[in-house]
């Protein structure tokens, strides 16, 4: 059963302003995500950071809490599976299936998150 749906959109220009701001980057990305981020070129870093920010916001909206006391950016990790599909895990939740999708345009990134199960 679907228990939550969230969507988020962010302009790449907003993220580009923070691309060399370690405090912002470390707030949004986990250590594992940061390792991937550090090996990217600047254009791809903007897309990566925007996509991860957006998908974590979308998930927090689907959860109904938003980013804050109940769930933080650091509670959420996004990795790509062998086919390139993003997979989000939430260390604060058990027993739910999380489905996410991230897309980019020349000017923005958007993400959608769907949570299955009433226990999340």
SS3 content of the chain, % helix, strand, coil (to 5): 35, 30, 30
Retrieve residue 102's tokens: 């991230």
Q: Which residues are the active-site residues? A: 61, 104
Do residues 68 and 56 touch, judged by C-beta distance below 8 A? no
Long-range contacts of 69-75 (CB under 8 A, 24+ apart): 73/27, 73/28, 73/29, 73/30, 74/27, 74/30
Any binding-site annotation on 57? yes
Any binding-site annotation on 8? yes
List binding-site positions for Mg(2+): 8, 57
List binding-site positions: 8, 57
């Amino acid at each position: 059963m679907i228990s939550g749906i969230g969507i988020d959109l962010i302009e790449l220009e907003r993220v580009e302003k923070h691309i060399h701001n370690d405090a912002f980057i470390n707030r949004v990305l986990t250590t594992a995500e940061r390792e991937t981020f550090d090996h990217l070129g600047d254009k791809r870093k903007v897309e990566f950071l925007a996509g991860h920010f957006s998908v974590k916001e979308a998930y927090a909206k689907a959860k109904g809490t938003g980013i804050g006391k109940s769930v933080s950016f650091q509670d959420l990790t996004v990795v790509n599976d062998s086919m390139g599909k993003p997979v989000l895990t939430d260390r604060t939740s058990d027993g739910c299936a999380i489905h996410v999708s991230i897309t980019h345009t020349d000017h923005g990134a958007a993400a959608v998150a769907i949570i299955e199960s009433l226990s999340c």
